[in-house]
Amino acid sequence: MSFLGRSGGSSTGVNPERVEMAVQELDMITDVFNRLVSSCHAKCISTRYAEGDLNKGESVCIDRCVSKFFEVNKRVGEKLQSMGGNAPSGQSAFGSL
Amino acid sequence: MSFLGRSGGSSTGVNPERVEMAVQELDMITDVFNRLVSSCHAKCISTRYAEGDLNKGESVCIDRCVSKFFEVNKRVGEKLQSMGGNAPSGQSAFGSL
Amino acid sequence: MSFLGRSGGSSTGVNPERVEMAVQELDMITDVFNRLVSSCHAKCISTRYAEGDLNKGESVCIDRCVSKFFEVNKRVGEKLQSMGGNAPSGQSAFGSL
Amino acid sequence: MDFSSMNAAEQAHMSKVIEKKQMQDFLRMYSNLVERCFNACCNDFTSKALSSKEEQCVMNCTDKFLKHSERIGARFAEHNAERESTVPEQH
Amino acid sequence: MDFSSMNAAEQAHMSKVIEKKQMQDFLRMYSNLVERCFNACCNDFTSKALSSKEEQCVMNCTDKFLKHSERIGARFAEHNAERESTVPEQH
Amino acid sequence: MDFSSMNAAEQAHMSKVIEKKQMQDFLRMYSNLVERCFNACCNDFTSKALSSKEEQCVMNCTDKFLKHSERIGARFAEHNAERESTVPEQH
C-alpha cells in the first residue's frame, strides 16, 4: 500500500475518530465498487456465457458504463448537497424514533 | 434525540448487554425501514421518471403499501411465535455446525 | 454446541486472531447458506402459494438444487485457486487505492 | 424506541452509536440511490456521456426517491407512535 | 466447523459470538420473510387492509419458506458432515 | 484514498484493517460468484449432477466475471487518480 511510505501525521498513538472515518471511507468505496460491478454486469454482459473472454462489445460497454455511473454518482451527490445536506437526518429510519 | 432528556436508569456505567440489545434493535428497525422503502418503491413508483414529484396515485399507493406491509409483518411475527419461537435455532446456518 | 465438550487447545486466554478467523468462517457459512436458500427458492418454489407444504416436486427440486449449488461452489473454488490465489488482492476495490 | 430504562452513560453511548449509524445510513442511501437511478435511467451505451434525457431522468429519480423515503418515514413514525401508545411499556 | 483446536476461553467466547449471531440471523430471516411474502402476495393497493386471499397467501408463503429453509439446512448439514469425514483434519 | 495525514500508528492500524477487509471482500466475491453463475447456468433440476454444458457455462461465467471485475477495477482506479490530481488536497 502506497500510503505506508508517506509520513504525514506527526503525533503518535491512534486517534479512534480518524481511524473510524478512514474505515467508513473504505467501506463506502467497497460498496460503490460492488454496485458498479453489479450494475455494469447487468448492462453489458450477456448471460449466455458461450465464452469466458470479454468480447469487444462488452469491453467497450463496460468502459462507457463506468463513465456514466460516475457521472450519475456526481449528479446525485450534487443534488443531495443542494438540498442542504439535511439528508443524513432527514430520511433515515431513525427520523422516526 | 428525545430520550436524552429522560432519566430512566439509576445505576451509572454502561451495561454492555443492554447497549448491545438496543443496538440490535436499531439495526432491526433500519433493516425493516430499508425493505419497506424498497418494496413500496417497486409496488408504487413508476420508473419512467417523467417528473420528480410523487403524483396523487403514487402517494396514496405508498400509504396503503406501508399499512399492508406492517400487517404482513404482524401476521408473519405471530406465525413465527406460534411455532414456539424455536425458529432462532431451527433454520439458521448454524443448525448444521 | 458440540465443540464445547472438546478440549483441543492447550493455552489459556483468547487469541484474537484465532477467534477472528473462526468468526470470519461463521460469517462465510451464513452467507453461503442464505444465498443457497434464496437461489433454490427462486429455482424450485412456485410463488402462487396455494398451499403451505412443500409438494413432492418442490422437495426433489430442492435436494438437487443444493447438490448442484455445492458442485458449482467447488468448481468456482478450484477455478479461483488455479488462478494462483492472487484473487484476494486482484479484483477488490482496494486494488485501486 | 424507548431508551428511558437506560442510565445517563448508556444514553450517551447510544447517541454516539446512533450518530455513527446515521452517517453510515446516509452513505448507504446515497450509493443505493446512485445504483437505482443509474439502472433505471441509463440504457444506452453507445456513448460515455450522460445524455440530457438521461440526466433529467436521474434528477427526477433522485427527487422522487427522496420524497418517497420521506413519506415512508412519516408513515413509519406514525405507526410506531401508535403502537407505543397502545402497547403497555415493559418494565 | 471444528473448534477443537481452541482453548476453553476461546470456545466460551465463540459460543457467545454464535449466540449473538443466531439472534441477528433470526431477525434478518424474519424481515426477509416479511419482505418476500409481501412482495409475492400483495399486489392490490386499492385498499389498505390485507384481503383474506392475501392473508392466506402470506401464511402459506411463510410456512413454505420455513419448510424450504429447514430442508436446505438438512442437506447443508449432510454435505458438511460428508466433507468433514473425507477431508483429513488440519492440525 | 489518502492516508498521509495519519501518523505511523494509525497507518499500521489501517493496513491491518485493510488486510482483514480484503479477506472478507474476497470471500464475499467468491460466494457472490457462485450464486451468480449458479443462477445463470443451472436451470434443469431433473438431475442432481452438473451437466457438462452447465459446467462449461459456470467456467465461462467465472472467467468472464473476473475479467469484468478487473476491467471495472482498472477504470475505477483511473477515475480516482484523475480526481485526486484535479482536486486540491485538503489540509
Report the CATH number that the domain containing residue F27 is assigned in CATH: 1.10.287.810
> How large is the average pLDDT for residues B6-29?
77
Mutation target to probe the F interface, by most F beta carbons within 10 A, among C37, C76, C81, C83 is: C76
Q: Dihedrals φ, ψ of A8, to 5°?
A: -85, -55
Query: C91, C94, C97: which to substitute to probe chain F, counting the most F Cβ within 10 Å?
Result: C91
- Is the Cβ pair B37, D67 closer than 8 Å? no
CB-closest option in F8, F11, F64 to A49: F64
The rounded distance, in Å, linking the Cα atoms of A81 and A73 is 12
Residues A8-45: pLDDT tens digits?
Answer: 444 678 888 888 889 988 999 999 999 999 999 999 99
Q: Is the pLDDT confidence value at D9 over 90?
A: no
Q: Tell whether D91 is covered by a domain.
A: no
The CA-atom distances, in angstroms, between B79 and each of A49, B18, B65, B74, E66 are: 42, 27, 21, 9, 11
Are the CB atoms for F71 and C71 separated by under 8 Å? no
Complex ipTM, two decimals? Answer: 0.86
D2 located within any domain: no
Confidence of residue F28 (pLDDT cuts 50, 70, 90): very high
Residue B52 has pLDDT above 90, yes or no: yes
Higher pLDDT, E44 or A11: E44
B72 neighbourhood in chain E, CB within 8 Å: 34, 37-38, 41-42, 50, 58
User: Could you say which of F56, F67, F73 has the minimum Cβ distance to residue A54?
Assistant: F67
Cell of F57: 457455462
Q: Is residue D50 part of a domain?
A: yes
pLDDT in tens, C1-23: 333 334 444 467 888 888 888 89
Q: Answer whether A95's CB lies under 8 Å from A89's CB.
A: yes
Q: Chains near E, with 3+ CB pairs < 8 A?
A: B, C
F91 vs A17 pLDDT, higher one: A17
Note whether residue F41 is domain-resident.
yes
The C residues from 33 to 92 touching E (CB cutoff 8 Å) are: 33, 36-37, 40-41, 44-45, 47, 49-54, 58-59, 62-63, 66-67, 70
CB atoms within 10 A of CB B36: 27
Q: Residue F3 falls within a domain, yes or no?
A: no
Q: Give D86's pLDDT tier (boundaries 50, 70, 90).
A: confident
pLDDT in tens, F59-74: 999 999 999 999 999 9
Farthest CA pair distance, chain A? 57
CB contact under 8 A, B26 and A92: no
pLDDT at E1: 65
pLDDT band at F35 (very low <50, low <70, confident <90, very high): very high
Residue D56's pLDDT is 98
How many domains is chain E partitioned into structurally?
Answer: 1
- Write down the pTM of the prediction: 0.85
Per-domain residue ranges of chain B: 15-44+54-80
Q: Which residues of chain A from 15 to 54 reach within 8 Å of chain C, CB to CB? A: 26, 29-30, 32-34
Closest chain D C-alpha to B35 CA, distance in angstroms = 11
- Say if B16 is an interface residue toward chain E (CB within 8 Å): no
> Residue E27: pLDDT above 80?
yes
- Give the list of residues 6+ apart from residue F47 with CB closer than 8 angstroms, or none: C64
Q: How many helices (H) and strands (E) does chain B have?
A: 3, 0
Interface test with D, best of B2, B3, B21 (most D CBs within 10 A): B3
| Neighboring chain C residues of B97 at a CB cutoff of 8 Å | 1-3, 29
Buried b (16+ CB within 10 A) or exposed e, A45-75: beeebeebebeeebeebbbbbbbbbbbbbeb
Handedness of CA A60, A61, A63, A64 (dihedral sign): positive
More reliable by pLDDT, E65 or F10: E65
- Cα–Cα distance measured from residue F83 to residue F86, given in angstroms and rounded to the nearest whole number: 5
Q: How much is the pLDDT for B97? A: 34
Contact (CB<8Å) B3/D75: no
Question: Cβ-count burial of D91 within 10 angstroms (0-12 exposed, 13-18 middle, 19+ buried)?
Answer: exposed
C-alpha distances out from residue D20 to A33, A86, D7, F56, Å: 22, 15, 20, 46
Q: Tell me, which fold does domain B15-44+54-80 have in CATH? A: Helix Hairpins (1.10.287)
Residue E36 covered by a domain: yes
* E60 Cβ under 8 Å from any chain C Cβ: yes
Cβ contact (<8 Å) for E62 and B24?
A: no
**What span, in angstroms and rounded, lies between the C-alpha atoms of A59 and D8?**
57
- Among candidates E27, E33, E77 on the partner chain, residue whose Cβ is nearest the Cβ of B76: E33
Range of the domain at F32: 8-86
The reply to whether residue C94 touches residue A2, judged by beta carbons under 8 angstroms, is: no
Which residues of A fall within a CB distance of 8 Å from D76? 93, 96
Amino acid C95: pLDDT: 39
